[in-house]
Amino acid sequence: MQPPIRTRTLAVAGAAAVVLASLSAAEASANEAEASIEVDLSDATEISDELYGLFYEDINHAADGGLYAELVQNRSFEFTAADEASYTPLTAWETVAGSVTVETADPLNADNRTYVRTVADTAIVNAGYNTGMAFTEGAAYDFSVWADADAATELQATLVDAEGVALSESVPVPISGSGSWAKAAAVLTAEAASTTGRLMVTAADPVSLDMVSLFPQDTFLGRENGLRPDLAELIADLDPSFLRFPGGCIVNTGSFDPDSRERAYNWKDTVGPVEERRTNHNFWGYNQTYGLGYYEYFQFAEDIGAEPLPVVPVGVTGCGDSPEITDPAELEVWVQDTLDLIEFANGPADSEWGSLRAEMGHPEPFGVEKIGLGNEEYKDQYLANYPAFHDAIREAYPDIAIVANAGVDDAGDVFDRNWAFAREQGADLVDEHYYNSPEWFFANNARYDSYDRMGPHVFVGEYASRSNTWWSALSEASYLTGIERNGDVVDMASYAPLLSNIDYIDWAPDMIWYDNHQTVKSASYEIQKLFSTNAGGEVVASTLDANPIVSPDIAGGIGLATWNTAASYDDVKVTGADGTGLFRDDFATGSDGWTVGGNTAGAWEVADGSYNQTALVEDARTTAGSADWSNYTMELKATKTAGSEGFLVMFGVEGSDDYYWWNLGGWNNTTSAVEKSSNGAKSTLINHDTVIETGRTYDLEIEVEGRNITGYVDGEQAFTVEDKEAIEPLYQVVTRDEDTGEITLKVVNAQDQAITTDIDLEGGRLKDKGEVTTIACDPGCDNALGEDQVVYPQTQKVKDLGNEFTYEFDPYSVTFITLKPQGRH
């Protein structure tokens, strides 16, 4: 073996410059190898050619105020309190001279009913999003408005700053005065840059105004009604194979009443002229204009070379909403809408819906090959409604692949039920979603090793490790090595969510962050890009040999908690494995030794010889014991007195964000589970079917032995589970590009020390010179908006590699080593 080749130390990841490196034996580390990787180049398995893609949802103002380039907020004066409690038709608008009234009597059209009427000499200003509109010096902006005046008149449109100082010339906009609505337009040029810009519109005479718009002429690929180019280019740089849209929870929430302001997402509301698209309440608590609609999604997918994957509702709402369609006739309307969508995407230009696509500017089909039915469906009605959609698509479009879904978690009764149902129905793929702790991702690298290769394939449609630190990104990288190793059964995977405006956060973490003028790529973005742009077409057989890292026993104190429930606890006892009594409290003399905490304090009190929590609040906790307890049995009595759930019995409590709890009667008393919280990110270890009756006293017991947990209810075993979460010395996978023959060895080191590794590739001759890309940083590193990026890749050309070499993988690093076969350029 050759001495180990080392990368340069990366306390902060280096720049993307390419450097030629050839380290001599004297320069290289003399450490003995701590691990080995053996690769058989003659043994390869073909994997999916669309493994890495994107999931887009209008969350965190991902559309309006984000990817959609429109600078005016509330351009059609349609904001209402139904969207968000503080909204009015004049949200984001200020009248700086004269006055306006909000009108509905003579609307622009039936789907855009609200507008404003000015008096003479009125000036109104729109503030846009974030700190205002971002203007670039010398850049041109397209202003347009729909106006209705009784006589010919003129508007003035001007770019101004937050203090009203002009940033452009005031441009006249003639209004015909025909007594009917007409569109008028002008071009404004910014004479100075600003991130606090505004649009001011001045009316000399009374006039009605609607759809007041300001678009930068610089949109992605110059598209009309287009996209913000910096965000679109970051997305395109990921080289995605597919684009799943439009959600997410916005797909399967809302009312099925077509006239409701909180109606379920219907693609037909989002196409055609933008002034005729009905705005709607967005599930995440704001207004969605649908300016970015299905046509634009299809166009964007085509522009970035991604396969479009639309997801449609199936007459069942989730994400906490309750409406369901049970009437077959009503359901058939939604089934037909789904068939119409496929015709819109794929039909000839002279078909009913294909002609609308052609009229919008795309006579050629978009080429939809897959469609998703529902999102995170956990209700029984999903099983009743799904077949109508599935069967109709199979009959009308037999070549379209159908994606069912596995519910809201990575395991459990709903997960198992939905998978069995998908097999029974003959779905092509099943969409799995999970947002778990880094430790879960490290521990579940082998999740898909044992999946059935003959059933539906897997679409990991939403996943993330619950923070944007490098530690979470490392865990995601470790998991992706397992995804690639199983790329014959996992067809597609997409991180979620994709976008977040820093000032409008509904969910975090997210892959790309931005405000009105700048963006930042998260650490997770860098991992997604590294894997996506180096996916390969085959997985080559490889074996890692390294001493396993022994996980410590579960350790920590105990706790009692409730969630929207009142409960009474008594006779708490903790006994060590050797019979030693660690803790006992019958609450006869108070609650000394207990510390009240959690997200809400609740109303904990000792009364009638028991410890009671009487407030119906979320996450009311009280804890006791020592962080060094391990291998113990906890016993207690518990009685639910009111509320919607059951008991939360805590163990292994190390802190407010690090603990286990046995959640009995959770999720509105529909199931029970053992959950683990690591740094505040929860994951489920096991589900079981216990529910809790009000007024009944239960004898509960939890045994913690090593990393095994067993629970008993009234003396009967309810579950047993091993928390296998552990971080391996290395995670690795090897892929081959079928076109070039290049071999890429992908290695993740999540340890705090470098690991020297012998690497042996047999079964084909490789060139000595290769390319090494490394991302490394401290676990807490996090790319932040407006600051220098600290997590990013460094690429080097390295000599002395070939078929056999020793490499030292940096601490907390992801390393890709790419080797060319002999005989190829």
Catalytic residue IDs: 376
Confirm if 155 and 104 have CB atoms less than 8 A apart: no
Give the DSSP H or E segment for 722.
strand 716-722
Q: What is the token pair recorded at 656? A: 């407010």
At 604, phi and psi to the nearest 5?
-85, 135
Confirm if 499 and 511 have CB atoms less than 8 A apart: yes
Strands (E), 34-160: 35-46, 54-55, 93-97, 100-103, 115-118, 122-126, 133-135, 140-148, 153-160
CA–CA separation, 239 and 241 (whole Å): 7
CA–CA separation, 199 and 734 (whole Å): 54
CA–CA separation, 63 and 786 (whole Å): 21
CA–CA separation, 139 and 159 (whole Å): 12
Q: Is 668 helix (H, G, I), strand (E, B) or coil?
A: helix
Render 318-364 in DSSP notation, one character per residue. -TT---B---HHHHHHHHHHHHHHHHHHHS-TTSHHHHHHHHTT--S
Confirm if 567 and 559 have CB atoms less than 8 A apart: no
Residue of 64, 290, 95, 288 whose CA lies nearest to 202: 95
658 vs 382, 471, 598, 629, 679, CA distance in Å? 35, 16, 12, 14, 6
209 strand-pairing partners: 116, 147
Give the amino acid at 242.
F
Residue of 398, 434, 448, 483 whose CA lies nearest to 735: 483
CA–CA separation, 438 and 435 (whole Å): 10
Q: What is the token pair recorded at 771? A: 């390319």
CA–CA separation, 695 and 642 (whole Å): 8
Angle between helix 229-237 and helix 294-303 axes, rounded to 10 deg: 50
- 10 Å Cβ neighbour count for 533? 13
**Three-state secondary structure readout of 599-659:** CCCCCEEEECCEEEECCCCCCEEEEECCCCCECEEEEEEEEEEEECCCEEEEEEEEECCEE
CA–CA separation, 6 and 719 (whole Å): 47
Rg (C-alpha) for the chain, rounded Å, is: 30
742 vs 239, 620, 697, 763, CA distance in Å? 18, 55, 65, 14
Give the amino acid at 613.
Q
Q: What is the DSSP letter of 415?
A: H
Confirm if 291 and 64 have CB atoms less than 8 A apart: yes
182 vs 154, 157, 200, 293, 683, CA distance in Å? 13, 17, 20, 23, 55
288 strand-pairing partners: 280
The upper half-sphere exposure of residue 422, i.e. CA atoms within 13 Å in the direction of its Cβ, equals 29
Residue of 589, 598, 594 whose CA lies nearest to 558: 594
CA–CA separation, 723 and 686 (whole Å): 10
Residue of 115, 87, 126, 117 whose CA lies nearest to 99: 117
- 10 Å Cβ neighbour count for 17? 8
